[in-house]
Amino acid sequence: MGILSSSRERSRLSKLQSQLQAEPRPHGLAQLARDYLALGDGAAAREVLEFAKALFPESEELNRVSNLFISGETLSRLSSLKEQARRTGTAQAYLELAEAYQQLGNQEQQISTLRQMLELFAENCSALAQLGTVRFERFLSSLAATDGQAAESLLVRAISADVEALKPRFVLADLYFRVGAIRRAGEVLEGLLALSPGHERALRMRARVDEIPPEEQDPLEDFRSLLNQVEERRQLMHPAPPWEARAPAEKGIRELVEVPGAEMERLKEQTGARCALVLSGAGTLVNINATDDLERMSRSLSALCHRTARGMQLGAAAGLMVEGAGGSLVMELKHETVMSLVLDRTRDARSAAVAARDSLERLSRGAP
C-alpha cells in the first residue's frame, strides 16, 4: 500500500472507529481491529480490541481476532520459553511458559505446564494460584459446582503455600462473593487488606461486602450448597465483578421487551429468517411468526445443549445449529435466554448464527 492510500485508509478507519465508539457492534469492531492489523498498526488494533472486549466479552468473533493478535506476538516467544524451561528447569521458566500458553488461549497446555511444574516443585503458590484462577474463570462460565469447588481448593492451597500472596486471596474472595458466601469473602478480604492496605480492587470489593445487609446473607454459608444452588439456578448470586468501579446499572433483558422486538425484526430481515423467537426464564419475549412447536423445541433443545456441554466439560452452551435438507434452525443461548431463527435452505445458517450472536450480545447489554 502506498503512502497516500495508506493515509486514506487510516483516515477511513479513524472515522469508522469514532462511529463504532458511539454505536458499538461486535462484528464492526472485530473488522476494524482486523483492518488495523492489515495496516500494520498493532497499537490501534490493541486499543480497539480492549474497548470491544470490555463491552462484548463473550463475542466469539472478537475473541478470535484477539487470539489472532496475541498469537502473532506470543508465538515467536513460545519456542524460546519452551527451550528455556527445558534447559534451566526453573519454576520461573515454567511460569512464563504457562503464561504464554494462557495468552495464546491454549488452556490445556497452560494447565499441563502448571501441573508439570507442581510435580517438579511441589506446592508452588504461583502455579496453584494460576490453576485456581483458570478453574474460577471456568466456573464463571460453566456455573458447575465441581469447577467452583476445585477453584476453592486450589486457591486455599495457594494461600497455604505462601501466606503473603495477594492474588489467590483476591480470587478466592471474588469466588466467595459471587456465590453468596459474603461472610467468607469478608474474612478473606480482611487478610488481604492486612497485607496490602491500599489494594484498590480489594477495597472496592470490601465496600460491596459491607453494603449487603446481614438479613440478605445466608447464615450458614455452606459453600457446597451455595455452589449447588448456583448450578441448579444457572445463575450466580452476584454476577457482576464486585471489584469493578461502579457503572450505571445494566438493563436486564426482561426489562427490554420493546427493544428486543425491534432488534429481532431487524435481525429477521437481515438474515431472511422465516420466523424468530426470544425466550427468557420468565417467558416469551419476542415471537415473530414462530409456532408453538418452535417454542417448545427451543426450550427442550436449549436444556439439552446445556446438559450436553456440562456433561462433556465444555462449559456453558452458547449455540446450536441444525442444518437440514429443507432449511436450518439457528439457536443462540446465553444463561436463561434463548434466541431461535428458522431459515429456508437458500439462506446461510452460519452468517445468521454470527448475526444472532451479535444481537443477543446487544440485547443482553441493553443496547438499543
Partner 1 sequence: MKAVIHELKDRVGVRGALVMIKDGVVVAADLCDELDDDSVAALAAAVVSQTVEAAELLGLAQATRITLTASFGRLVFIPFDQLMLVVVTEPGLDLELTMLEIAGPARRILELSKLTMPV
Q: Which residues are near partner 1 by CB under 8 A? A: 60, 63-64, 67, 105, 107-108, 138, 141-142, 291, 293-294, 297, 300-301, 304-305, 307-309, 311-329, 342, 350, 353
- Residues in contact with 57: Cβ distance below 8 Å, sequence separation at least 6, in sequence order: none
Q: Please check whether residue 38 is in contact with residue 30, taking contact to mean a CB–CB distance below 8 angstroms.
A: no
Tell me the C-alpha distance between 34 and 30, whole Å: 6
In the bound state with partner 1, the residue whose beta carbon lies nearer, of 69 and 223, is: 69
- Residues in contact with 287: Cβ distance below 8 Å, sequence separation at least 6, in sequence order: 276, 277, 295
Tell the smallest beta-carbon distance from residue 298 to partner 1 (Å): 9
Q: Please check whether residue 24 is in contact with residue 59, taking contact to mean a CB–CB distance below 8 angstroms.
A: no
Residue 344: strand pairing partners: 327
DSSP letter at 254 equals G
Tell the smallest beta-carbon distance from residue 334 to partner 1 (Å): 11
Tell the smallest beta-carbon distance from residue 327 to partner 1 (Å): 5
Q: Tell me whether residue 209 is exposed, middle or buried, using C-beta atoms within 10 angstroms of its C-beta: 0 to 12, 13 to 18, 19 or more.
A: buried
In the bound state with partner 1, the residue whose beta carbon lies nearer, of 104 and 181, is: 104
In the bound state with partner 1, the residue whose beta carbon lies nearer, of 185 and 354, is: 354
Spell out the SS3 assignment of 2-49: CHHHHHHHHHHHHHHHHHHHHCCCHHHHHHHHHHHHHCCCHHHHHHHH
> Residues 227-255, buried b or exposed e (16+ Cβ, 10 A)?
bebbbeeeebbeeeebbeeeeeeeeebee
Spell out the SS3 assignment of 206-235: HHHHHHCCHHHCCCCCCHHHHHHHHHHHCC
- Residues in contact with 39: Cβ distance below 8 Å, sequence separation at least 6, in sequence order: 1, 6, 9, 10, 13
Tell the smallest beta-carbon distance from residue 2 to partner 1 (Å): 31
In the bound state with partner 1, the residue whose beta carbon lies nearer, of 178 and 184, is: 178
In the bound state with partner 1, the residue whose beta carbon lies nearer, of 12 and 115, is: 115
Tell the smallest beta-carbon distance from residue 308 to partner 1 (Å): 5
Secondary structure (3-state) at 349: helix
Secondary structure (3-state) at 288: strand
In the bound state with partner 1, the residue whose beta carbon lies nearer, of 91 and 275, is: 275
